[in-house]
Copies of this chain bind each other. A is one copy, B any other.
Amino acid sequence: MAIARAIREALGSSSMIRKMFEEGNQLKKQFGADKVFDFSIGNPDLDPPPAFHRVFLRLAEEDAKGSHGYMPNAGFPGVREALAKKASREQGVQLDASHIIMAAGAAGGLNVVLKSILNPGDELIVPQPYFMEYRAYAANHGGRLIGVDTLPDFNLDIAAMGAALSERTAAVLINSPHNPTGRVYPAGAITALADLLRDHGKKTGRFPCLVADEPYREIVYAGAAVPPILSAYEESITVTSYSKSLSLPGERIGYIAVNPAIRDRDEVLSALIYATRVLGYVNAPALMQRIVAELTEERVDVATYARRRDAFKEILDKAGIPYADPEGAFYLFCQVPGDDRAFVEHLKQYRILGVPGSSFGKAGWVRFAYCVDEGVIRNSGDAFKKAMETWKDGSTAPQVSGAGYGFVP
């Protein structure tokens, strides 16, 4: 059976990462899982909060008649209502149940949004570096991702985004707190972006949709707050999931919130519901819908992530590896001497696993996920130091830079 040509090409380019994961598994078999410093994947190791367990158990005990059946494609009305209240508080606009579409995680929600708004050849503008899957999501629906470099501190470069806008621009996709950099875009950046998009719309007649991918909204540190999107710009949609805030990534549950002020709102809502149906989602998983509706005030223990971040920063400081200081999410994006893919290979000799920045469109950087046990982080100190020492002695010339990046050195 010949597979689709586009998939064959994609498989070729993603095989590097697969290979890395396989080698990681090989390392764990060889040395034991606890002897491998696996910072490669953003798979939260924290358990869901205790309230999750209580609701889960109660619903299992009740196992109410019809509770596993179909509901409207957009989700259970009561669930949508509960999440509309939550989204209203976070986004500074008044949403009701009709503005919420339940989704199979943020990845599902983003595909639903992009299918609903992209015409063939339309462009999706994304600040770079970006989560590597976005490019495939745009391509799924005939669109094309246009990466736009961010400022040295990874904040939005509004001028560069303005230069990238065209009549083909269907949407701008931002992710804050940001994977891989940990950046939280400040309110000023969001306002400036909104002004830019509004001006562009007035000039061209086509107002780009601002899509905010917000699965890390609740994973923020030291009082950082993620500014609202919906109150900043009318033509906006947020997508989120409970993969990080409740540690439920395998259960595929999240939702889309549509700005009540968006043009052609009813048509947009109908399109999202239609896309949910025909992309084969049909609806977000029923049981998890009912669970998350009862947990709008709950989240995992962010203080644990904060402690891990601090422990990891200490290790990087001692090893002399500069990084972007994360305001949210659970990644440390580090500037590495020389080629990032070669450096990631080199790290494997010390049983350290990370993801090359090239995979996010940012060569010369490496991402480490710290959603792993603090002990693993603490034990990796010597490995990082040795890896840096031997790399400097290695055959690949390190190209150390970093001035002006606003990092902890």
Copies of this chain, complex-wide, total 2
Is the beta-carbon distance between B1 and A252 smaller than 8 angstroms?
no
Contact of A68 among B11, B65, B237, B249 (CB under 8 A): B249
Residues of chain A at interface, number, CB under 8 A: 81
Cβ–Cβ contact A2 & B287, under 8 A: no
Answer whether residue A283 sits at the interface, using C-beta atoms and an 8 A cutoff: yes
| B4–A69 touching, CB < 8 Å | no
What 1/0 mask marks residues of chain A from 111 to 144 whose CB sits below 8 Å from any chain B CB?
1100111110000000000000100110011000
In Å, the complex CA distance between A252 and B276 comes to 12
Q: Contact: B235 with A267, CB < 8 Å? A: no
Interface membership of A278, Cβ < 8 A: yes
Contact, CB under 8 Å: A274 / B7: yes
* Given A117-B3, A207-B1, also A68-B280 (CB < 8 A): no
A60 contacts chain B at the CB level, 8 A cutoff = yes
Partner of A117, one of B1, B71, B140: B1
A111 and B250 contact, CB distance less than 8 A:
no
Answer whether residue A229 sits at the interface, using C-beta atoms and an 8 A cutoff.
no
Q: Write out the residue numbers on chain B whose beta carbons fall within 8 Å of the beta carbon of A141.
A: 4
A57 shortest CB reach to chain B, Å: 5
Instruction: Give min CB distance, A308 to chain B, whole Å.
Output: 17
Given A1-B262, A117-B1, A61-B68 contact (CB < 8 Å): no
Binds B, one of A40-48, A89-97, A188-196, A324-332: A40-48
- 7 closest Cβ pairs, A-B complex: A250-B286, A60-B60, A111-B280, A107-B280, A136-B278, A3-B271, A108-B280
23 residue pairs from A and B, CB less than 8 Å apart? A1-B209, A1-B237, A4-B118, A4-B141, A7-B115, A7-B274, A11-B270, A11-B274, A53-B63, A60-B61, A68-B249, A70-B249, A104-B104, A104-B281, A111-B280, A112-B280, A133-B277, A250-B286, A250-B287, A252-B282, A279-B279, A285-B285, A285-B288
